[in-house]
DNA sequence: CAATCTCCTGTCGCTAATCTACAAGAACAT
DNA sequence: ATGTTCTTGTAGATTAGCGACAGGAGATTG
């Protein structure tokens, strides 16, 4: 009984892009920040996170560079590219469109 | 280049359940009503719709019966079962939780 | 009355995103 | 020395939704 999914499918890219718009961050940090901002509602597991990051990087939306984290560990820092910023805008618009439409349906009587 | 999806993945069941909460309807009618309420933002294609309906029926959330449509055609009318109504509540809550969390992320600075 | 259009249900094969579960290294704490 | 936390990764399975079909039966048009 699968049923309970930790995220709304299709929103992970958006969440990652948005998080990185606030400043470069490493994968683990992204997951942490999302969890924190969302009061633990949004849980990103590694099996989703890392593939997503690689995907986005491969699409040219993110750039990556190794560095050292706050805890003095090797970490791969991701940053938005210009294309990434554009993509963020597009996906934000799409999300707004969609969620508004759904809200309208849910309010119908 | 897929990119553009007609729905937010995972919300179709919710949309169907909600639409049927307003009264029994046949598949094609559900798609129409969703499209109408959402100003054509939500497009459900048959390849998604019918499998979803069968899925929901098999899960005991919907009951189906053949009848005749407004246009005097054979149509399969679906109605919410008790379990379906419960499921609708659960999925609505889940959606609200999730979309609120996402909104919070998108508003972050 | 024939042809075509609209309504309405369905199936098949594909793709892509996510989940679960696993593995592993390096820094820090005890 | 040992364990715990931080951090990155991969493999396999599932699953929803998409695109492209196919087809029947009532309505409409000519």
Distance between CA atoms of A6 and A82, rounded to whole angstroms? 29
Question: B102 and chain A: CB distance < 8 Å anywhere?
Answer: yes
Which residue, chain included where needed, has tokens 């390849």?
A: B47
Q: What is the chain B residue with the closest CA to A106?
A: B18
pLDDT tens digits along B76-103: 999 999 999 999 999 999 999 999 999 9
Question: A2 and chain B: CB distance < 8 Å anywhere?
Answer: no
pTM recorded for the entire structure: 0.93
Distance, CA of B47 to chain centre: 14
Asked if strand D comes closer than 7 Å to B12 Cβ, the answer is yes
C-beta separation of B6 from B43 below 8 A: yes
Q: What is the chain A residue with the closest CA to B37?
A: A105
Average pLDDT over residues A76-95: 98
pLDDT tens digits along B7-62: 999 999 999 999 999 999 999 999 999 999 999 999 999 999 999 999 999 999 99
Question: A11 and chain B: CB distance < 8 Å anywhere?
Answer: yes
| Rg for chain A, CA atoms, rounded | 15
């Amino acid at each position: 009984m699968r049923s309970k999914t930790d995220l709304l499918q299709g929103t992970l890219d958006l969440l990652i892009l948005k998080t990185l718009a606030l400043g470069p961050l490493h994968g683990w940090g992204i997951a942490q920040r999302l969890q924190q901002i969302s009061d633990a509602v949004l849980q990103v597991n590694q099996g989703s996170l890392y593939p997503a990051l690689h995907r986005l990087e491969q699409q040219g939306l993110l750039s990556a560079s190794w560095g050292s984290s706050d805890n003095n560990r090797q970490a791969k820092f991701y940053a938005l590219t210009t294309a990434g910023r554009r993509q963020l805008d597009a996906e934000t618009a799409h999300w707004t469109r969609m969620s508004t439409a759904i809200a309208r349906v849910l309010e119908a009587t």
